Amino acid sequence: MSAVLEARRLSASYGGRRILENVSLRVDGAEIVTIIGHNGAGKSTLLKSVFNLIPWRSGEIRLAGRDILGLAPDRILAAGIAYVPQARSVFPKLTVDENLRMGGYLLDDKRLLAARIEKVRQLFPVLGERGGQLAGTLSGGEQRMLEIGRALLMDPQLVMLDEPSIGLAPRMVDAVFDAVRLLKAEGKAILMVEQNVKKALAASDRAYVMELGEIRLEDAAPALIGDPRVAKLYMGRR
C-alpha cells in the first residue's frame, strides 16, 4: 500500500537544542502506527514537527507524495493531516455541538459540514447524546472522543494522536483504543504516540521505538510486543 505520510531525515530543535536527529518513518493508508519510547525521547516533538509547530526543522515531510514541510499548520490541516495534542483542547464553555462545528471552521459548505458532523455522531454516539452539554462538563474520556471527532471534520487522510489515553480511567482507555481501531476501519491512517505500550502495540500494525531523538527499532507491532529489547526498556521487565 502506498504511503500516506513519509518523513525522511527529519531533524528538529528548540532554541538551538537538537531534539530530533535524522528521523525517517512512514504511515500507509488505513494503518495504525505507534511511536513508543521513554519520556524525552522526542515522540511528541516528532508529531509537532509534522504539523509545523516546531521553530526549526529540516528534512522532508510528504503527504501522499506532496511536500508539506513549509506549510503553515492550518494549511497542513486543509491538506489532510489532523493533530490531537496531548493536552485537553476542547472549548470547555462551548457545547459539544459547538465544538464540533469549530472543527470544520475551514469549510465554507454548510451542508458538507452538517453531513460530516452527523457522520461523527454516528461513529461516536455519545457525542450525539451530549450535543447540548458544555464540553467542560464531559468526563476525560468523553472529551478525548470529542477531540478525535472534531479532528475528523476536515476528513483528514492522517490523524495524529499524542498520548490519547493519558489520565483516563481504564474503561475509557479501552474506549479510546476502540475509537482508534474504528478510525482505521473508516480508512484513516493513524500515527500515535502512546505510553500505554501494551495496549498501543495490541492496537497497531507497526511501531517505531525512539530513544534520544532517533528511531532505534521498527517492526510489526505484534513482533515488538515480545521483543526483549522493548520489554527491558519500555515495559519494565528484566
141-155: pLDDT as tens digits: 999 999 999 999 999
For residue 65, being part of any structural domain is answered with yes
* 170 located within any domain: yes
Tell me, yes or no, whether 103 lies in a domain. Answer: no
Q: Is 101 inside a domain boundary?
A: no
Closest CA relative to residue 78, chosen from 110, 105, 48: 105
Q: Is the pTM of this model over 0.85?
A: yes
Domain range for 188 is 3-85+157-234
Q: What are phi and psi of 57, to 5 degrees?
A: -145, 155
Residue 54 domain flag: yes
Structural domain tally of the chain? 1
Higher pLDDT, 110 or 230: 110
What pLDDT, on the 0 to 100 scale, is given for residue 233? Answer: 63
pLDDT at residue 37 in the model: 92
CATH of residue 217's domain is 3.40.50.300
More confident residue, 233 or 158: 158
In this structure, the strands spanning 189-193 and 32-36 are parallel
- Average pLDDT of the segment spanning 120-138: 96
Confidence of residue 139 (pLDDT cuts 50, 70, 90): very high
User: How far does Cα 187 stand from its chain's mean position?
Assistant: 15
- In a domain? residue 123: no
- pLDDT (0 to 100) of residue 230: 81
Contacts of 168 (CB under 8 A, 6+ apart): 140, 141, 144, 176
Do residues 124 and 149 lie in contact, with contact meaning Cβ atoms separated by under 8 Å? yes
Q: Is residue 133 part of a domain?
A: no
Question: Could you give phi then psi for residue 184, rounded to 5 degrees?
Answer: -60, -45
* Residue 173 domain-assigned (yes or no): yes
Cell of 67: 511536500
Read off the DSSP letter of residue 238: -
* Distance of alpha carbon 179 from alpha carbon 12, whole angstroms: 30
